């Protein structure tokens, strides 16, 4: 997928001086290249109300948390996102803060690629009424609160009942998010280009359910069956809702997905290796 970039939206982590300083330098550089550029602070009214140009791109300056927060707004819009690493190890960041000029030139000379990846959509129904809906870039997680006790969840795929699960919770992860919470719970790594998502139990009782992978066009659902559970649903660990007994959660791929800009600085497997996901044992 190729495209022409005419507008750049630079979004910084709220209150981070280093991000604001770099944003100023990028703003001046893009203007010097004849590209319209604007700077926004994540969470600001100006960012929330922004109408995107058809040939725009969003650059995110901050950590993975900022990248996830900004990217959720872009799900289904077709507007690509590109992360800039500000010094910490961020798996979602493509651009180095030290070499950003030579890397961002690729955006302007046609060498950048653009990949549409799976994002997740979720709903919570309570007594037949829609209580909550949202999207996630990495994962939708159902998890217990402060009490150390398992919860009972009834699972289904495409409406077909799988059975009950007793566990601390459950993670539904996109390929992008499979390197996050899911892999820490022994979930599978999914290549980011796959049209699929994974389901991983959190500490299942008696190891009763193994992680599994579903096609991107499938629906995964679960029903809460604990009357006194302190249970929550969260999207990317940042948004969510408290759950009650009888609540039904549905998770699917989000229509339109999320478009990532790719500059070819490192392959997916290079990034896995440099971030410690596997080691060459020659």
User: In this predicted structure, what is the pLDDT of residue 147?
Assistant: 67
Domain of 211, in residue numbers:
120-253
CA angle 112, 5, 265 (to 5 degrees): 20
Q: What is the CATH number of the domain that holds 42?
A: 3.40.50.10330
Distance CA 63, CA 156 (A): 35
Q: Does residue 243 lie in a domain region?
A: yes
Q: Does residue 218 lie in a domain region?
A: yes
Higher pLDDT, 54 or 27: 27
* Domain match, 35 and 94 both: yes
Distance CA 176, CA 193 (A): 9
* Domain match, 106 and 35 both: yes
The single residue of 64, 226, 236, 247 carrying the catalytic annotation is 64
103 is in an annotated binding site: no
Whether 282 shows a pLDDT value over 80: the answer reads no
278 is in an annotated binding site: no
Q: pLDDT band for position 169 (50/70/90)? A: very high
Whether 131 shows a pLDDT value over 80: the answer reads yes
* Domain match, 25 and 76 both: yes
User: In this predicted structure, what is the pLDDT of residue 16?
Assistant: 86
| Antiparallel, parallel or unpaired: β 151-157 and 160-167 | antiparallel
Percent of the chain exceeding pLDDT 90 equals: 71
* Domain match, 65 and 156 both: no
* Domain match, 232 and 194 both: yes
Distance CA 155, CA 138 (A): 20
User: In this predicted structure, what is the pLDDT of residue 93?
Assistant: 83
User: In this predicted structure, what is the pLDDT of residue 123?
Assistant: 98
Q: pLDDT digit string (tens) for 144-159?
A: 876 667 899 999 999 9
* Domain match, 113 and 146 both: no
The closest of 236, 53, 43 to 137, measured between CA atoms, is 236
Listed in sequence order, the residues at least 6 apart from 282 whose beta carbon sits closer than 8 Å to its beta carbon are none
Region 176-184 average pLDDT: 95
Q: Does residue 103 lie in a domain region?
A: yes
Q: pLDDT band for position 268 (50/70/90)? A: confident
* Domain match, 91 and 196 both: no
Q: Does residue 73 lie in a domain region?
A: yes
Q: What is the largest CA-CA distance in the chain?
A: 61
183 is in an annotated binding site: yes
Q: What is the pTM of this model?
A: 0.93
Whether 178 shows a pLDDT value over 70: the answer reads yes
* Domain match, 44 and 106 both: yes
85 is in an annotated binding site: no
Whether 47 shows a pLDDT value over 90: the answer reads yes
- Residue 224 near residue 232, CB atoms below 8 Å: no
User: In this predicted structure, what is the pLDDT of residue 88?
Assistant: 64
Region 69-82 average pLDDT: 96
* Domain match, 46 and 35 both: yes
The per-residue pLDDT of the chain, averaged, comes to: 92
User: In this predicted structure, what is the pLDDT of residue 281?
Assistant: 76
65 is in an annotated binding site: yes
238 is in an annotated binding site: yes
Higher pLDDT, 213 or 111: 213
182 is in an annotated binding site: yes
Higher pLDDT, 75 or 107: 75
Q: pLDDT digit string (tens) for 100-129?
A: 999 999 988 888 999 999 999 999 999 999
User: In this predicted structure, what is the pLDDT of residue 146?
Assistant: 66
168 is in an annotated binding site: yes
What are the CA-CA distances from residue 168 to residues 45, 156, 165, 263 (Å)?
Answer: 37, 18, 10, 39
* Domain match, 74 and 133 both: no
Region 69-90 average pLDDT: 89
User: In this predicted structure, what is the pLDDT of residue 71?
Assistant: 97
Q: Does residue 282 lie in a domain region?
A: no
* Domain match, 211 and 100 both: no
Distance CA 96, CA 220 (A): 37
Question: Per the structure, how many domains does the chain have?
Answer: 2
Region 19-42 average pLDDT: 94
Q: Is 229 helix (H, G, I), strand (E, B) or coil?
A: coil
- Residue 164 bears catalytic tag: no
Q: pLDDT band for position 8 (50/70/90)? A: very high
Q: Does residue 2 lie in a domain region?
A: no
Whether 202 shows a pLDDT value over 90: the answer reads yes
């Amino acid at each position: 997928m190729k495209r022409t970039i005419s507008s750049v939206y630079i979004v910084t982590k709220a209150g981070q001086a280093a991000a604001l300083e770099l944003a100023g330098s990028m703003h001046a550089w893009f203007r010097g290249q004849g590209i319209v550029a604007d700077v926004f602070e994540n969470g600001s009214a100006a960012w929330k109300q922004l109408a995107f140009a058809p040939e725009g791109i969003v650059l995110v300056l901050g950590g993975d948390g900022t990248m996830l927060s900004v990217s959720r707004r872009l799900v289904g819009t077709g507007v690509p996102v590109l992360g800039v690493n500000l010094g910490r190890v961020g798996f979602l960041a493509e651009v180095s803060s030290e070499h950003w000029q030579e890397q961002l030139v690729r955006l302007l000379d046609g060498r950048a690629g653009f990949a549409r990846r799976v994002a997740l959509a979720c709903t919570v129904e309570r007594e037949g009424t829609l209580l909550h809906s949202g999207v996630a870039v990495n994962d939708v997680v159902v998890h217990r609160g402060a009490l150390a006790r398992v919860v009972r969840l009834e699972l289904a795929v495409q409406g077909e009942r799988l059975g009950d699960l007793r566990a601390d919770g459950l993670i539904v992860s996109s390929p992008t998010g499979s390197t996050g919470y899911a892999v820490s719970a022994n979930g599978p790594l999914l290549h980011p280009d796959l049209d699929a998502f994974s389901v991983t139990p959190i500490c299942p009782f008696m190891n009763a359910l193994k992680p599994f992978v579903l096609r991107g066009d499938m629906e995964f659902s679960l029903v809460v069956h604990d009357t006194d559970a302190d249970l929550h649903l969260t999207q990317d660990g940042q948004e969510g809702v408290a759950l009650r007994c009888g609540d039904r959660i549905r998770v699917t791929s989000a229509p339109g997905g999320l478009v990532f800009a790719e500059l070819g600085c490192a392959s997916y497997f290079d990034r896995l290796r440099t971030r410690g996901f596997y080691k060459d044992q020659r």
